[in-house]
Amino acid sequence: MTLCVIPARGGSKGVPRKNLLDVGGKPLIVWTIEHALAVPGLDVVVSTDDEEIADVARAAGARVPWLRPEELARDTTPTEPVVRHAIEQVTAERGRPEAVMLLQATSPVRHDDTLARALAEFAETGVDSMVGVVEQPPFIWQAGDPPTAAYDVAARPRRQDLTPEARRYRETGSLYVTRTGIYEQHDNRLGGRIGMFVMHEDEGIDIDTELDVALALRLMGRSSS
């Protein structure tokens, strides 16, 4: 069994009640729930401390068999303890899952086949954990004295000529797939042999401001496949 955990805390700083924000006619979290429910075999669970979010999630078809304890719903709470709590609860209820797909509710732009492709790639490659990424332009700099570039400034590359080793990727936060043992042994969503799951460029949006909402709506209009 693969457990799909969608964390959704009631509080948010950038956009108040962000997980319930109307995006394209439905609450933001519902987009992610629907993405997950479209994949056969996923046990889709929303972990929240908020009754209203729980009601919306249940109405959308997700399971919300408990409310997250207050100590796991603070501004400073990392995601890993939230996932471990979900693993423990589901294990007691239904048995230990083999793997966990962690989905970010604030990433509403995903193509129809993205989650199924991620799970297939996870199984085919045999990695222990997988991180969703989008490709970035290679011209990345790191601050310092002097600053350093991630490319050879004496031989500026053309993007079309980049070798696989020279390409750079950004972690989207949108999805992770992890063997349950990695959470248990390393207290981390990433560990063991890590693989990258390359997502489409438009899937890298994360809702944190009203401008992000406008951009997401525009992208979703172009991302129906």
Cβ atoms of 225 and 112 closer than 8 Å: yes
Cβ atoms of 6 and 30 closer than 8 Å: no
Q: Could you give the CA distance from residue 209 to residue 170 in angstroms, rounded to a whole number?
A: 19
DSSP conformation letters of 165-210 = GG-EEEEEEEEEEEEHHHHHHHSSSS-SSEEEEEPPGGGG----SH
63 is catalytic: no
The active-site residue, picked from 74, 94, 156, 170, is 156
Residues annotated as catalytic are: 156
